[in-house]
C-alpha cells in the first residue's frame, strides 16, 4: 500500500509532460496574441506621400486589391534585413499592392534610406507622428499586414519577415 | 572575438564537467582524485570566463554579438548594460549555469560530509550542469554572431530598466537554481544509503540558504511590480509569479521538515521527496516560462524547440530522481502518531497544508494547457481562482503556526498554556472591538487576528526563552520565533493592503487641488524631460496631510525611443502605516486623469520579509 504512493509523483510528472508535449507539438503559440483588428475592416486613414507632401490618399481609394502594408523606418535595423524580400514578393506576386509606411521617422532620412536600399513599394506613406500606427496597433517595427480585396485584415506579422514565412504563411492570403 | 572567447569558455566548461564525471567513474585509481577537483575548479573558471565575456560584450556595446544587438543599446546607462547580461533568455540561462557551477565548487569545500557522499553529490551536480549546458549550447547560445552589420542595438525591454529588477534575477536564481544542489544531495544520499545526521545537517543549511535567497528574489520582484507596473498591487498571480511560488512553498516545507528530522529522526522519505520536488518544480517553472507556453509580464522570446528541450530535461531529471526515490527510498521503523498534540504533528500538518497549496497553484497554472489540449479552447485562470482556493487552504496553516509555540517537541504536554491562552484571548477581543467599531470585513478580521496571534505567541515564547537563558545568544535561541514574527507582520500587511486598499480616480489641472481621505494633492506643474534613452512626462505634485505640507511626489510616464514603449512610474509616498500611491493617466482637454491608491500597511510586507530573511540567515550559521 505504502509503495503505491511512491509512484504518484512519477505518474504526475508523466501526465504533466504529456500534456505539455502535446500542447507544444500542436504548434500553438500564445505569445502571438490575436490582434484585435484581425478579420476586421481596415480602419480608415489618410496617408501623405513620402516623396510629395501634397499628395494625400485615403486608404478607401485603395480597396479592390490585395494590399500588403509594411511599417518600416530608417532607424530600424531588422527592417533592413527584411527589405530585400519585398523585391521578391513584388516579383512573385505582381498583383498585390505593396504599401510601405514610414513610421516615426524623419522624412529626409527615410527618402535617403529608400534611395540607398531601393524602393520596392508601390506607394510610400509617411507616418512621422505614429498616428496610422496607432490605428493599426503597431507596437514594434517591422510590422506587416495583409488586407484582402474587401478591405479586411487577414494576416499580421510582427518582426522581420523571412523567406520561410513568405512561402509558408503568406501564400493562402495572397493568392 | 569576445563572442568566440565566451563560446570557447562555455564549451571548455562543458568538457571539464565531463572529466569530473569520468574521473569519478575511475575512482578506484587514487591518482584521479586530483583530476576530479582540478576539473571541477577549471569548469568554474571557464564558466566565469564565458559569463564575463558576455558581460564585457554588453558593457562595450559589441553589436557584432547577436544577443547584445537584440537586447542592448549604446545609449543605455552602464548599470543597465551590465544587468542586460541577464535581462534576456540566453544571458539568463548563462547566469543559471554560472550559479550551478558556483554551487558545485562551494559545496566541494564542505568537510562535514563523508568523502564518497560529497563526491557523488558533485557528480550529480555536474550531470545537471551538463544537461543545462547542452540546452544553452544547442538552443539558446548567447554568443551567436550578428548576421547584419549594425552600430546600434535594439534595446532592452524598458520596463526592466530598474534597480530592483536589475538584481532580482541573480538573487532569485541563487535560490531557484540552488535547489539543484539539494536534488544532487538527496540523490547521492539515497543511492549511497547515507541519509544520516551529517547529511541532514548539511542539506539543512544549503536548503535554508537557497530558500532564503528565493524569498528575497520573490520579494524584490513583487516590490518592483508594486512601484513599476502602476497597478497598485504587489502580487498578481501571474504565471511567472506562480512558478516561483511553487518551489518556494515546497522549499518552506523542506526547511521545516528538516527541523523535525533532526529532532525526531523520522520522515526521511518525506524530506527526500521534498528535496526532489523543489528542483523539479524549478525546472517545470523554467519550462512553462521559457517555452512561451504561458503568457505573462515576463515575456521571453518563445521558441517551441527550446520548450521541447526543457521538457525533455524535466522528464529525464525528474523521472530519474523519482525512480531512484521509488527504488531506494528509506524505511522509517518508527510510525508517527499524529494524535499527539506536539510540535512534530503540528509541523506535519503544516507540511500537508503547504503541499496542498502548492498542488492547487500547480493545477491553476497548467489547467489552461490541459483544457486547450483537450477541448481546443483558450482560457485563463486568474486571481479569483487563486484567492478563493489558495488563501482558505493556507488559513489552517497559519492557525497552527499561532499555537505551535505553546506545544512541546516530544511530549503531549502543553507548556505554560495559561499565559498563551490569556494573550490569545486578549488580542482576539481587542481586534474584534477595533474591527467592529471601524470597517468590519470577515477576511480582514481573520487575517488580522491570525497575524496578531502569531506575533503574540512568538513574543511570549521569546520572553520565556529570555527568562530561561537570560538574553545569552538572543538571536541564536530565538531565530525561528523571530522569523515567525516576521510572518505575522507580513500577514497583517498582506491583509490590510489587499482588503482595505482604496482607489480613487480624479481629473486634475495644473494648480488644482483634489482631496482624497486625509490627504490633499495639488498638481504643481507638468514638464517633459529628455533623458538619455527616454523622454519623461513628469508630474510634480504637492502632498498635504491636514493642511500640513508633507512632500512632493513625482509621478511620470516614460517613452523609450528605441523600443517605443511607454511605461508608468508610480509616485509613492511611504508612510509607516500607509502608502500614498499615485499613477498619472492620460490627458483630456488639458485635464489629466490620475488614480490615487491608499495602500495601508504595505511596508509591513517588506519589513516582515526582511525579518524572515535576517533570522533565517542566523539559522544557517547556528551550530
Q: Has residue B416 been placed in a domain? A: yes
Is B284 touching A (CB cutoff 8 A)?
yes
Together in a domain, B425 and B573: no
Distance from CA of A149 to the nearest CA of B (A): 30
Looking at the structure, tell me whether residues B523 and B459 fall in a common domain: no
Q: Which helix (H) or strand (E) holds B538?
A: strand B534-545
Determine contact: A31 vs chain B, CB below 8 A: yes
Cis peptide bond upstream of A142, omega within 30:
yes
Owning domain of residue B437: 389-500+604-615
B464 and B528 in a single domain? The answer is: no
Q: Do B75 and B88 share a structural domain?
A: yes
Provide the shortest C-alpha distance from residue A119 to chain B (in Å). 20
Contact A10 B311 (CB under 8 A): no
Looking at the complex, does the CB of residue B314 fall below 8 Å from at least one CB of chain A?
yes
* A124 min Cα distance to partner chain B (Å): 22
Using pLDDT thresholds of 50, 70 and 90, give the confidence band for residue A33. Answer: very low
Q: How, if at all, do strands A123-127 and A46-49 pair?
A: antiparallel
Regarding whether B481 and B558 lie in a shared domain, the answer is no
Q: What are the cell numbers at B506?
A: 480624479
Residue in A closest to B148 by C-alpha: A81
C-alpha distance from A46 to closest chain B C-alpha (Å): 23
pLDDT digits (tens, 9 = 90+) for A106-134: 788 888 888 888 888 888 888 877 777 77
Whether residue B599 is found in the same domain as residue B610:
no
**Residue of B370, B381, B565 best to disrupt the A interface, most CBs of A under 10 A:** B370
In B, which residues are within 8 Å of A25 by CB distance? Answer: 308
B191-201 pLDDT, tens digit each: 998 888 889 88
Residue B516 sits in the same domain as residue B494: no
Cα distance between residue B7 and residue B43, in whole Å:
13
B35's grid cell: 583530476
In order of A94, B13, B141, the CA distances from B33 in angstroms are 71, 19, 33
Please name the residues between 122 and 161 in chain B that touch chain A, using a CB distance below 8 Å.
147-148, 150, 152, 154
Q: What's the pLDDT score for residue B26? A: 77
Specify if B452 maps to a domain.
yes
CA dist., res. B392 & res. B385, Å (int): 11
Instruction: Assess B372–A contact: CB distance below 8 Å, yes or no.
Output: yes
Chain A's closest residue to B288, CA to CA, is A20
| Number of domains, chain B | 3
Position B404 in a domain:
yes
Residue B565: strand, helix, or coil: strand
Q: Which of residues 34-73 of A touch B (CB under 8 A)?
A: none
| Rounded Cα–Cα distance for residues B159 and B566 (Å) | 9
pLDDT at A1 over 50: no
**Helix (H) or strand (E) segment spanning residue B66:** helix B66-71
Mutate to test the interface with B, among A2, A21, A30 (most CBs of B within 10 A): A30
Query: Measured between CB atoms, does B377 come within 8 Å of chain A?
Result: no
Task: Quote the CA–CA distance of B605 and B600 in Å, as a whole number.
Answer: 11
Q: Are A77 and B329 a contacting pair at CB < 8 A?
A: no
Pair B512, B480 in one domain = no
* A12 Cβ contact list (under 8 Å, min separation 6): none
8 Å CB contact of B378 and A16: no
Contact status of A3 with chain B (Cβ, < 8 Å): yes
> Do residues B528 and B611 share a domain?
no
Interval A57-80: pLDDT, tens: 777 677 777 888 888 887 776 777
Q: Are B534 and B158 in contact (CB under 8 A)?
A: yes
Q: Do both B473 and B519 map to the same domain?
A: no
Across the interface, do B319 and A30 touch by the CB < 8 Å criterion?
A: no
Cell 569530473 appears where? B20
Contact B13, B98 (CB under 8 A): no
| Option in B148, B301, B373 nearest A22 (CB) | B373
CA distances (Å), B588 to each of B220, B508, B621, in order?
A: 35, 10, 59
The yes-or-no verdict on residue A34 having pLDDT over 60 is no
CB within 8 Å: B304 and A10: no
Give the pLDDT confidence score for residue B30 in this predicted structure: 67
Residue-wise burial string across B388-412, b where 16 or more C-beta atoms lie within 10 A, e elsewhere: ebbeebbeebbbbbbbbbbbeeeee
In angstroms, rounded to a whole number, what is the distance separating the alpha carbons of residues A132 and B552?
A: 38
DSSP tag of B338: T
3-state secondary structure of B475: helix
In the numeric block, which cell numbers belong to residue B387? 484567492
Q: Is B528 domain-assigned? A: yes
Q: Which of A3, A13, A80 sits opposite B315 (nearest CB)?
A: A13
In a domain, B307, yes or no: no
The DSSP annotation for B179-192 comes to HHHHHHHHHHHHHT
**Domain A34-174 is found in CATH 3.30.300.130:** no
Q: Is residue B305 part of a domain?
A: no
pLDDT higher than 60, residue A31: no
Query: Searching chain B, which residue's CA lies closest to the CA of residue A6?
Result: B326
Residues B473 and B540 in one domain: no
Q: Who among A9, A20, A33 is closest to B311 (CB)?
A: A20
Residue with cell 498554556: B417
Q: How far apart are CA B522 and CA B545, in angstroms?
A: 11
Question: CB pairs below 8 Å between A and B: how many?
Answer: 87
At residue B379, the pLDDT reads 67
In a domain, B300, yes or no: no
CB-CB: which of B284, B314, B319 is closest to A10? B319
Strand pairing category for A123-127 and A97-103? parallel
pTM of the predicted model as reported, rounded to 2 decimal places:
0.79
Which residues of chain B fall below pLDDT 50? 297
Grid cell, residue B568, equals 508608468
Question: B369 and A19: CB-CB below 8 Å?
Answer: yes
* pLDDT for residue B173: 92
The A residues from 132 to 151 touching B (CB cutoff 8 Å) are 139-141
Boundary (domain end) residue, out of B118, B137, B161: B161
Least CB-CB distance to B291: which of A3, A24, A139?
A24
Q: CA-CA distances (angstroms) from residue B595 to A64, A93, B501, B581, B584?
A: 46, 51, 13, 8, 7
Asked if residue B346 is part of any domain, the answer here is: no
DSSP assignments along chain A, one per residue = -HHHHHHHHHHHHHHHHHHHHHHHHTT--TTSPPPTTTTSBPPP-EEEESS-TT-EEEGGGGTTS-EEEEEE-TT-HHHHHHHHHHHHHHHH-TTSEEEEEEES--HHHHHHHHHHH----SEEEEETTSHHHHHHT--SSSEEEEE-TTSBEEEEEES---HHHIIIIIHHHH-
Q: In what helix (H) or strand (E) does residue B34 lie, and over which residues does it extend? A: helix B32-59
Contact call for B325 and A6, based on CB within 8 A: yes
Q: Is B470 left (phi over 0), alpha (psi -120 to 50) or beta?
A: left
Do B319 and A9 lie within an 8 Å CB cutoff?
A: no
Dihedral (Cα; A156, A159, A162, A168), 10-degree rounding:
-30
Query: How far apart are the CA of A12 and the nearest CA of chain B, in angstroms?
Result: 10
Kindly give, in sequence order, each residue whose CB lies less than 8 Å from that of residue A34, ignoring residues fewer than 6 positions away: none
User: Is B291:B309 a contact under the CB 8 Å cutoff?
Assistant: no
Nearest-Cα residue of chain A relative to residue B289: A31
Directed axis angle between helix B474-499 and helix B383-403, to 10°? 140
Chain B residues close to A14, C-beta within 8 Å: 315, 319
Interface contact B620, partner A, CB < 8 A: no
pLDDT at A30 (0 to 100): 46
Residues B17 and B44 in one domain: yes
Amino acid at each position: 500500500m505504502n509503495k503505491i504512493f511512491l509512484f504518484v509523483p512519477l505518474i504526475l510528472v508523466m501526465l504533466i509532460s504529456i500534456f505539455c508535449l502535446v500542447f507544444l507539438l500542436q504548434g500553438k503559440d500564445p505569445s502571438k496574441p490575436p490582434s484585435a483588428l484581425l478579420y476586421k475592416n481596415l480602419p480608415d486613414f489618410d496617408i501623405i506621400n513620402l516623396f510629395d507632401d501634397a499628395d494625400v490618399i485615403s486608404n478607401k481609394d485603395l480597396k479592390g486589391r490585395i494590399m500588403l502594408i509594411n511599417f518600416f523606418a530608417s532607424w530600424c535595423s531588422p527592417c533592413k534585413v527584411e527589405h530585400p524580400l519585398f523585391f521578391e514578393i513584388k516579383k512573385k506576386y505582381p498583383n498585390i499592392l505593396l504599401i510601405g509606411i514610414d513610421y516615426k521617422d524623419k522624412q529626409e532620412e527615410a527618402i535617403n534610406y529608400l534611395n540607398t536600399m531601393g524602393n520596392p513599394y508601390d506607394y510610400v506613406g509617411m507616418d512621422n507622428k505614429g498616428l496610422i500606427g496607432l490605428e493599426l496597433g503597431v507596437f514594434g517595427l517591422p510590422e506587416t499586414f495583409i488586407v484582402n480585396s474587401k478591405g479586411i485584415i487577414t494576416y499580421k506579422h510582427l518582426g522581420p519577415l523571412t523567406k520561410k514565412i513568405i512561402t509558408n504563411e503568406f501564400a493562402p492570403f495572397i493568392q | 572575438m569576445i563572442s568566440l572567447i565566451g563560446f570557447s569558455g562555455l564549451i571548455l566548461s562543458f568538457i571539464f564537467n565531463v572529466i569530473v564525471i569520468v574521473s569519478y567513474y575511475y575512482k578506484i585509481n587514487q591518482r584521479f582524485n586530483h583530476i576530479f577537483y582540478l576539473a571541477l575548479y577549471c569548469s568554474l573558471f571557464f564558466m566565469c570566463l564565458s559569463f564575463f565575456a558576455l558581460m564585457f560584450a554588453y558593457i562595450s556595446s559589441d553589436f557584432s554579438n547577436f544577443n547584445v544587438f537584440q537586447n542592448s543599446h549604446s545609449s543605455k546607462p552602464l548599470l543597465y548594460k551590465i544587468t542586460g547580461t541577464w535581462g534576456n533568455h540566453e544571458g539568463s540561462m548563462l547566469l543559471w549555469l554560472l550559479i550551478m557551477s558556483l554551487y558545485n565548487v562551494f559545496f566541494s569545500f564542505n568537510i562535514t560530509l563523508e568523502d564518497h557522499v560529497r563526491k557523488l553529490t558533485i557528480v550529480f551536480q555536474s550531470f545537471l550542469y551538463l544537461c543545462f549546458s547542452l540546452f544553452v549550447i544547442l538552443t539558446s547560445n548567447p554568443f551567436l554572431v550578428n548576421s547584419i552589420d549594425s552600430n546600434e542595438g535594439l534595446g532592452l525591454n524598458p520596463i526592466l530598466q530598474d534597480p530592483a529588477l536589475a538584481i532580482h534575477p541573480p538573487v532569485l536564481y541563487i535560490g531557484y537554481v540552488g535547489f539543484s544542489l539539494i536534488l544532487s544531495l538527496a540523490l547521492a544520499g539515497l543511492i549511497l544509503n547515507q541519509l544520516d545526521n551529517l547529511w541532514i545537517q548539511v542539506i539543512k543549511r544549503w536548503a535554508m540558504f537557497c530558500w532564503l535567497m528565493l524569498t528575497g528574489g520573490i520579494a524584490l520582484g513583487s516590490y518592483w511590480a508594486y512601484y513599476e507596473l502602476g497597478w497598485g498591487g504587489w502580487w498578481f498571480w501571474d504565471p511567472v509569479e506562480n512558478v516561483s511560488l511553487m518551489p518556494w512553498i515546497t522549499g518552506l516545507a523542506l526547511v521545516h521538515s528538516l527541523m523535525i528530522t533532526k529532532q525526531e529522526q523520522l520522515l526521511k522519505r518525506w524530506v527526500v521527496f521534498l528535496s526532489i520536488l523543489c528542483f523539479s518544480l524549478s525546472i517545470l517553472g523554467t519550462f512553462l516560462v521559457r517555452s512561451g507556453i504561458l503568457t505573462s509580464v515576463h515575456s521571453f522570446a518563445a521558441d517551441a524547440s527550446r520548450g521541447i528541450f526543457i521538457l525533455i530535461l524535466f522528464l529525464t531529471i525528474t523521472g530519474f530522481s523519482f525512480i531512484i526515490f521509488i527504488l531506494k527510498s528509506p524505511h522509517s521503523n518508527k510510525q508517527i502518531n499524529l494524535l499527539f498534540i506536539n510540535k512534530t504533528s503540528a509541523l506535519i500538518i503544516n507540511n500537508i497544508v503547504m503541499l496542498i497549496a502548492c498542488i492547487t497553484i500547480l493545477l491553476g497554472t497548467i489547467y489552461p494547457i490541459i483544457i486547450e489540449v483537450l477541448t481546443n479552447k483558450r482560457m485563463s485562470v486568474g486571481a479569483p481562482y487563486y484567492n478563493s482556493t489558495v488563501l482558505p487552504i493556507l488559513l489552517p496553516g497559519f492557525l497552527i503556526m499561532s499555537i505551535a509555540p505553546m506545544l512541546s517537541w516530544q511530549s503531549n504536554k502543553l507548556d505554560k498554556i495559561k499565559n498563551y491562552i490569556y494573550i490569545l484571548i486578549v488580542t482576539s477581543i481587542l481586534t474584534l472591538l477595533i474591527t467592529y467599531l471601524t470597517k468590519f470585513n470577515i477576511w480582514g478580521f481573520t487575517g488580522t487576528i491570525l497575524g496578531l496571534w502569531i506575533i503574540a505567541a512568538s513574543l511570549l515564547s521569546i520572553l520565556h526563552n529570555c527568562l530561561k537563558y537570560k538574553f545569552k545568544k538572543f538571536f541564536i535561541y530565538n531565530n525561528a520565533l523571530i522569523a515567525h514574527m516576521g510572518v505575522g507582520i507580513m500577514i497583517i500587511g498582506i491583509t490590510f493592503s489587499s482588503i482595505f486598499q482604496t482607489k480613487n480616480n480624479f481629473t486634475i489641472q495644473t494648480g488644482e487641488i483634489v482631496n482624497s481621505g486625509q490627504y490633499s494633492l495639488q498638481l504643481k506643474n507638468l514638464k517633459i524631460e529628455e533623458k538619455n534613452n527616454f523622454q519623461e512626462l513628469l508630474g510634480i505634485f504637492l502632498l498635504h496631510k491636514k493642511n500640513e505640507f508633507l512632500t512632493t511626489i513625482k509621478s511620470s510616464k516614460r517613452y523609450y525611443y528605441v523600443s517605443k514603449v511607454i511605461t508608468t512610474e508610480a509616485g509613492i509616498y511611504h508612510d509607516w502605516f500607509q502608502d500614498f500611491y499615485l499613477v498619472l493617466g492620460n490627458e483630456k482637454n488639458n485635464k489629466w486623469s490620475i488614480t490615487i491608491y491608499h495602500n495601508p500597511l504595505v511596508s509591513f510586507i517588506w519589513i516582515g520579509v526582511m525579518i524572515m530573511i535576517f533570522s533565517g540567515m542566523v539559522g544557517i550559521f547556528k551550530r
